[in-house]
Each structure stands twice: as C-alpha cells, then as structure tokens.
Amino acid sequence: MKIYIDGEFYEKADAKISVFDHGLLYGDGIFEGIRFYNGRVFRLDEHIHRLFLSAKAILLDIGMTAEAIIEAVLETIRRNGLTDGYVRLVVTRGEGSLGLNPYLCPKASVIVIASTIQLYAEEKYTNGLILATCSTRRPAPAALSPAVKSLNYLNNVMAKVEAIAAGAEEGLMLNEQGYVAECTGDNIFLVTKGVISTPPVSAGSLDGITREVMFEIAAEFGIPLVEQDMTRYEVYTADECFLTGTAAEVIPAVVVDRRNIGDGKPGPITLRFIERFREIVATTGTPI
C-alpha cells in the first residue's frame, strides 16, 4: 500500500507523522472520506470544495491548491492499482509545540490513504440496520459547527460504543434540544405517507455529499423531500427509514429502539433510492 504524505509516497509501514503533530495531539485538523467506483472518483470536486470550507472555518492553511490535492488523490489511487475503493484525505495542523497555539505549527500536513472499505455487510443493504438512540448528544453548533468535518470524532465514537452496547449497528444522535441530528456517521432520512424528510443541518447534522445526492434523486423521481426538525416519535412512526454516507452509501434502517419501522423491512422508496444511487456512482465521477 502506497500512502501520500506531504508530496511523497510511502509504504504503509513507513508512513509516519510526528508525535508533535497537532492532529494527533489535539484533533486539530480536517478530513474527507471519498469513494471511487469503476475507475471514477465520485463527487471529487464537491469533497475538495467542502475540505477547503472546513479549512477556512478553522483558519487552517492547507498549503496546496485544490487542483494539487485532486491530483494527489488520483495519483494515490493509481499507485495502489485500485478501481473501486475509499480515500481518506486528512489535513492536520502539522507539527508544533505541546501547547494549543496553532500558530506555532508552521506547515499543515496532507495525508492521502486509498484502500478498500465495507462499512456494513451486504446483507444489511437487503435486510436493514438496527438503530438505538444514544444518550451522547451532538455538540451544539456554537461549540463546534457540524459543517466542519474535523478530526474531533470522540463524540461520534462514544455514541457508537453506546449503540453497540445496546445491540444495535448504528446509533441515533439527538441535539441538545432533543431533536434528531444524525447517526454516528450517517445522515438519516424518513419516509412518511410518500414524503421524505431529513433533519436540517442546523439541527447538528453534517451537510453530507451523499445526502445532497438524495435531493437530486428525489427531484428526479418527483418525490417530495423536505428538511424539518424531527423527534424520535417521527422516527418510530415513519413508514421507512434509510441512512446515507460516503462509506455507508444508502442503507435501510428497519428497527429503532426495539420498534419496527413500518413493517420492519426495507421499504419500496428506500429500495428505489438504493438502486438509483448505485446506478449514479457506477457511471459518473472524475476519471482516475
């Protein structure tokens, strides 16, 4: 495996960062998870655009142009001989002191990893996931904006631990007001009486790339899709539920807190969206 670090490629065993890197010490950095299919990188420009927005929000100078990062991503995939897989693009604040001051980190560090990934077993896309509500809440936007895809994922990790302890495969996360925000690593969508709904990003959810594709598919199918605050009651009483994310793609959820969603099986609209999403990713994207 070849890993890109700051303009050079290293074997996995030799790919190292400094123990003084602020990404390691303080979670001070940003990332993007990117998928590629059939020799094409899906929504690469959108991912890089979001990376630079995250960098701007936290006053992080990446030190590379968007074009240079795109080429680094593509070249990393090429050097690993992959046509289908997953890229983890990480930008840390770089090496600095043991203090918090980010201005003592003279240069950001850019890391690109290209590998394969399977977040859930294929049977889960047919049968659906079990969810459990987590007591761990999403941070308030005033504390850490959900729009910043930062390296601070301990909140999500602890929620995932809760979900697993409850016998579930994914955790439903609420915001401080008690409204549904998202899952530990995915956006959530409900289908109720033929209308699809999803929490607004202001509720504490990431404005996901795959989430945006759902809006496009809904428009194509002529199915209403609205952003609205939702409580667990709306989740419990929905006809269908599905989750979206770069790694998860589009996957049904059929049980939440021991309550069946609809009849406890993936619904027809969910299955249509999964099929259409797979068609889109198989035929579009930036050629590797």
Please indicate whether residue 265 is annotated as part of the active site. no
Q: Is 230 exposed, middle or buried (0-12, 13-18, 19+ CB in 10 A)?
A: buried
Whether the CB-CB separation of 139 and 182 falls below 8 Å is answered with no
Whether the CB-CB separation of 249 and 218 falls below 8 Å is answered with no
Distance between CA atoms of residues 1 and 11, nearest Å = 6
Whether the CB-CB separation of 53 and 147 falls below 8 Å is answered with yes
Contacts for 58 with CB less than 8 Å, ≥ 6 apart: 28, 30, 148, 150
Structure tokens belonging to residue 247: 């790694």
Beta bridge partners of 5: 8, 111
Structure tokens belonging to residue 24: 């390691």
User: Active-site residue among 12, 16, 107, 149?
Assistant: 149
Active site residues: 149
